[in-house]
Amino acid sequence: MNRIQCLVVDDEPIARDIIRNYCSHLPILNVIADCGNAFEAKVILQQQQTDILFLDIHMPVLDGIGFLKTLKNVPQVIFTTAYKEYAVNAFDLAACDYLVKPFSLERFMVAVDKALERLSQPVKPVIEHTLRNTDEHFFIKAEGKIYNLRYDELLFAEAKGNYTKVVTLSCAILPVISFSAFEELLPAELFIRVHRSFIVNRSKITHIEGNTVYIQKNEIPIGNNYKDAFLKALGL
């Protein structure tokens, strides 16, 4: 049996112990480490394969949501927190589940099952989402319709969980396609990744100020991990 490698990140030792204990009831789970802050966790993630990340939100210096935004290769994330109000932000970052403390073993098992289901799903080929690509445009399915999108009309794309929000000059659509799969549809010479959750059309950039890209009235953040490559791609 291939065990699922888990990392627990929480600044409260008791909370880490509870999750470790819950994991011990499920033989498929193996806790590779537990950490009290995001910086310790980042080292572990860089060194060891991690399938599931149990992540607290309120932690010193760098909170869980901020930490998740810094990661490039993201495991399945299950947030474990005492605060309900961050659930929308968590699912915008494609979190697998959101557990509000104190949570039961039964609720924990439901969250793990969701993560295991995602881990077992094969990557769907892009052909399921796109019908035909040309040098100027492509077709994509969204909301029961088929859209013909021209590259020169696409402003930017934003990750939205299992969806990708696509914003054009005339509309915004939400196709069921992962952000990484959508990125593969775009010609690299026209589109640039500026953030873990954003790709922009370089020709539509109005201006750049600080860590923000402006495209018409839209303000798009520039991620710290992407800024140097972004500016270099612009010749700056």
Q: Quick check: 134 pLDDT over 70? A: no
Q: How confident is the model at residue 128 (pLDDT cuts 50, 70, 90)?
A: very low
Residue with token string 């909301």: 143
Q: What is the mean pLDDT of the chain?
A: 87
Is residue 211 classed as helix, strand or coil in its secondary structure? coil
- pTM reported for the whole predicted model: 0.54
Using pLDDT thresholds of 50, 70 and 90, give the confidence band for residue 213.
very high
Longest distance between any two alpha carbons in the chain, whole Å: 56
Q: How far apart are CA 80 and CA 58, in angstroms?
A: 10
Mention every residue, 6+ apart, whose C-beta is less than 8 A from residue 203. 152, 190
**Segment 110-123, tens digit of pLDDT:** 999 999 988 886 54
DSSP string computed for 54-72:
EE-S--SSS-HHHHHHT-S
Least confident of 84-93, 143-152, 200-209: 84-93
Mean pLDDT of 187-210: 92
What is the predicted pLDDT for the residue at 84? 83
In this model, does residue 125 exceed pLDDT 60? no
How confident is the model at residue 132, as a pLDDT? 41
CA distance linking residue 236 with residue 233, whole number of Å:
7
Residue 143 backbone class (left: φ over 0; alpha: ψ -120 to 50; beta: rest): left
Three-state secondary structure along 186-217? CCCCCEEEEECCEEEEHHHCCEEECCEEEECC
